């Protein structure tokens, strides 16, 4: 079962660096949340001055120490749990950095975030950004990351133990009758109840607005007058929210694989469903061209899609055995998750072809289960990372739910199935996950203009599955100082994915402040 409704970059990261499959797909929700007590009307005044009650946070000195990976330092930052009542208590946020490799010409700190919500920025920094970003960028910037509140090392949200999460991920998300519909509804309620029981204190305080305000506290603690930032996927929404709150403190912002914050949850979920269909057709076209090596067969992407859908439907009643998985079987839900996971990067297509071959021809579901487990960040011991829990907590706080009942989903099925004949039904039903959330959403969808901010570069990939290219065009047009950079290609996000044109353009912006020409396109 797929909880994630925002694009994440973990899959892309893993394929290029550590080799561990940290895949993530799922439906996206966007929109600027207002936090537990802050209203949208008050956001414009947040950046005007630092309130006296926040001065201790803005003036704190970070104490750095060696940690984990050689060359990296870690620290802990304090922020108010509730910005509306700073005296009510603190939240501790984990921070890491790798100092600039050159002593002269330092440009300050470059904060990075890989997306999610729920992706560990520190994990991303230590396994990729701090080592794999272009050397000239790392030479002039201190590379910095903070795990957002509720994520990984920063007082993580927890919901279910491994055994209960196993059951949850196997729940049928294409219900055929009232009994299966009730089972799906019950699964979402169980998940939400688990989050409330284990994380009640933090659930109302993990909004994107609060995370953006934490970033400004970190900016001050680092001694930077302005924030320079590279955010991918959901990280673009976090960065755009920061620009909305603190336009005069915007340094050089790169928003890669952008989201459109003006869309409602349902509209965004439906458009992302179409994005995964676009990505699948690109995969299927490549697969069909390989002839006998393509497990989906057929003469066209449409043929391949019909065969995949028939295979997934078959798994609904006849799950496949897997090896080394503690007896778990591969049903429709886990198989669909595995396929969607591989859509994030074309480098994963060979692995998907092998997994489908094993499943469809050899009746062994192990390969697709590996992809699905990577998506959910489930380790070989059956333990799940916090990513999926944090993902739901942030998403469900940032926007009202896409649907209010199973009947609403049924009415929307034709639109979702039109958007994707292969994935539409399942992705429509997974859009029900926030309906039963224990904390009322505090944000609403709206345009982000960030008037007064310096130039912001927005990058979009034409066949991006998780953040459709149209969203990058939308965000760049909303931002008063947005500049669109287009990457004509497959996969999720653009920077650091092999395009010399994209990398050179973004590097020039980060290092010299040179913004791309209007309409610049790369391949």
Which are the catalytic amino acids? Answer: 233, 464, 492
Minimal CA–CA distance to 334: which of 184, 181, 171?
A: 171
Dmax (CA) of the chain:
69
Residue 111 phi/psi, 5-degree rounding, is -80, 140
Q: Strands 227-232, 250-256: parallel, antiparallel or unpaired by DSSP?
A: parallel
Do residues 485 and 506 lie in contact, with contact meaning Cβ atoms separated by under 8 Å? yes
d(CA 58, CA 80): 11
Q: Which residues pair with 458 in a beta bridge?
A: 255, 484
d(CA 416, CA 386): 29
Minimal CA–CA distance to 206: which of 232, 228, 238, 231?
A: 238
How many beta carbons lie within 10 A of that of residue 92, not counting itself?
A: 13
Token pair in block for residue 325: 């998985």
Residue given tokens 């057929």 in the structure block? 298
Question: 3-class SS at 484?
Answer: strand
Q: How far lies 396's CA from each of 5, 91, 256, in Å?
A: 9, 20, 23
d(CA 355, CA 403): 33
Residue given tokens 């990280």 in the structure block? 235
Q: How far lies 21's CA from each of 11, 116, 161, 380, 487, in Å?
A: 6, 15, 21, 12, 24
d(CA 396, CA 5): 9
């Amino acid at each position: 079962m797929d909880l994630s409704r925002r694009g994440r970059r973990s899959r892309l990261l893993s394929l290029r660096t550590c080799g561990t499959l940290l895949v993530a797909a799922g439906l996206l929700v966007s929109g600027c949340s207002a936090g537990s007590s802050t209203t949208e009307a008050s956001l414009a005044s947040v950046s005007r001055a630092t309130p006296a009650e926040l001065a201790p946070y803005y003036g704190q000195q970070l104490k750095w120490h060696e940690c984990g990976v050689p060359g990296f330092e870690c620290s802990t930052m304090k922020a108010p749990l509730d910005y509306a009542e700073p005296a009510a208590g603190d939240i501790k946020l984990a921070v890491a950095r790798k100092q600039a490799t050159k002593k002269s010409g330092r440009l300050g700190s470059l904060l990075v975030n890989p997306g999610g919500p729920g992706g560990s920025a520190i994990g991303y920094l230590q396994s990729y950004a701090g080592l794999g970003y272009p050397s000239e960028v790392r030479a002039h910037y201190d590379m910095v990351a903070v795990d957002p509140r509720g994520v990984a090392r920063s007082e993580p949200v927890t919901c279910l133990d491994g055994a209960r999460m196993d059951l949850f991920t196997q729940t049928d998300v294409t219900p055929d009758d009232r009994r299966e519909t009730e089972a799906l509804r019950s699964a979402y309620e169980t998940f939400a109840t688990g989050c409330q029981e284990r994380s009640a204190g933090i659930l109302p305080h993990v909004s994107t607005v609060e995370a953006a305000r934490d970033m400004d506290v970190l900016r001050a603690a680092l001694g930077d007058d302005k924030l320079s930032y590279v955010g991918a996927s959901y990280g673009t929404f976090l960065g755009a929210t920061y620009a909305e709150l603190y336009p005069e403190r915007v340094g050089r912002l790169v928003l890669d694989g952008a989201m459109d914050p003006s869309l409602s949850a349902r509209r965004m979920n439906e458009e992302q469903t179409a994005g995964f269909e676009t990505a699948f057709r690109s995969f299927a076209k490549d697969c069909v061209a390989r002839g006998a090596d393509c497990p989906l067969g057929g003469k066209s992407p449409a043929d391949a899609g019909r065969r995949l859908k028939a295979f997934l439907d078959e798994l609904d009643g006849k799950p496949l055995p897997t090896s080394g998985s503690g007896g778990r079987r591969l049903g429709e839900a886990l198989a669909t998750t595995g396929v969607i996971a591989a859509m994030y990067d074309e480098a994963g297509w060979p692995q998907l072809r092998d997994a489908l071959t094993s499943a469809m021809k050899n009746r062994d579901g192990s390969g697709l289960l590996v992809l699905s487990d990577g998506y959910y960040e489930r380790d070989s011991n059956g333990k799940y990372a916090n990513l999926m829990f944090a993902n739901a907590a942030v998403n469900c706080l940032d926007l009202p739910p896409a649907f209010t009942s199973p009947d609403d989903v049924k009415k929307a099925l034709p639109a979702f199935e039109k958007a994707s004949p292969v994935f539409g039904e399942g992705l429509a039903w997974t859009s029900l996950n926030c309906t039963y959330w224990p904390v009322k959403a505090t944000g609403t969808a709206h345009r982000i203009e960030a008037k007064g901010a310096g130039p912001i570069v927005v990058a979009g990939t034409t066949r991006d599955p998780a953040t459709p290219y149209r969203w990058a065009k939308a965000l760049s047009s909303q931002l008063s100082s947005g500049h669109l950079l287009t990457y004509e290609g497959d996969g999720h996000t653009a920077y650091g994915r092999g395009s010399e044109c994209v990398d050179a353009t973004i590097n020039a912006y980060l290092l010299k402040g040179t913004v791309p020409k209007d309409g610049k396109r790369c391949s």
